[in-house]
Amino acid sequence: MRDDERGRPASLEAVEATGASGALAVPDSKAPVAKRRAAAVGHGVREGVRKGGSRARAGLAYLTDRIIENAPRIPVRDLATLRKQFPGLGPEQLADKLVAGACNATSTVGAGVGAAAMMPVPPAMPTELAAEVTGVAAIELKLIAELYEVYGLRPPGNLKQRTTTYLNSWSEERGIDVTKPSTLNAALGGQMKRELRQQIMKRMVRNLPNLMPFMVGAAVGAVMNRRDTRKLAERIRKDLRKAQVPWDALPALPPLEKPADPLTMGEIRKELGR
């Protein structure tokens, strides 16, 4: 190797400048800062997701509790009252009438929430959705309870016990065979709240299109609620038919007790801040 003017080998100086790989080594003082910034952003995103998930779970838990508390207050017509209101109809025709009325009611709730999407108040949207879920649940629970009456399968027990059966039937979207103790005991089990939360989560996800702007959400909300209520009723009726008791074979049943403080849709909207 030859020496340059400073007395150092030229080839050694080149190696020091380029590094062992032969590429020019350029100091990068910004790399640690960028890494720290990226790590901070990632942590912030993860923390936001965690907090958002916690708030969502808390909201679902609150909705579940409200539905469970409201359920015993839903006014239910017994078979004698229904047959008096719809004279001359058999079980299937009467059930069809009840399903049609419930579908109309839930579609009206869905249309109202969808129309509210036009309002320039985005923070109100979660409240609107909560009111819809709670209102639709009340309508569908009333439908389920009256379908049990129509098919001659009133659950045994007091108001609270019957309501628990209806809640479990609604959350699982199936009819409980009240003639079999094993299925009835399962309906009264401790997993009900967890299953209800899962059902409400599915309902919330389905109802997201109701928030579409320009009144499209109103039409979508009405159609979706009508469709979902009809599907629920079909599943419940299919299960109840398997254990149906003919009206002429039914023992004399006492009238259903009326709730001391009947629930109304207006009250649901009020307690949810609408």
Q: Residue 252 has what pLDDT?
A: 87
Percentage of the chain modeled with pLDDT above 70: 58
- Cα(120)–Cα(212) distance, integer angstroms: 13
Task: Say if residues 102 and 140 touch (Cβ distance below 8 Å).
Answer: yes
Q: Residue 178 has what pLDDT?
A: 75
Diameter of the chain measured on Cα atoms: 119
Tens-place pLDDT, residues 180-200: 766 666 666 667 777 777 777
Alpha helices (H) in the chain, listed in sequence order:
10-18, 31-70, 79-85, 91-116, 125-150, 159-172, 181-187, 192-207, 216-242, 265-271
Q: Residue 273 has what pLDDT?
A: 47
Tens-place pLDDT, residues 85-114: 999 999 999 999 999 999 999 888 766 555
Q: What are phi and psi of 51, to 5 degrees?
A: -65, -40
Residue indicated by tokens 């350029």: 26
- Cα(11)–Cα(117) distance, integer angstroms: 74
Q: Residue 61 has what pLDDT?
A: 78
Tell me if the pTM is above 0.85. no
Task: Say if residues 156 and 223 touch (Cβ distance below 8 Å).
Answer: no
Greater confidence, 25 or 141?
141
Residue positions counted in the chain: 274
Alpha helices (H) in 117-191, listed in sequence order:
125-150, 159-172, 181-187
Q: Is the pLDDT of residue 73 over 80?
A: yes
Tens-place pLDDT, residues 243-271: 999 999 998 889 998 888 888 766 665 55
Q: Residue 12 has what pLDDT?
A: 46
Greater confidence, 253 or 53?
253
In a 3-state reduction of DSSP, which class is residue 166? helix
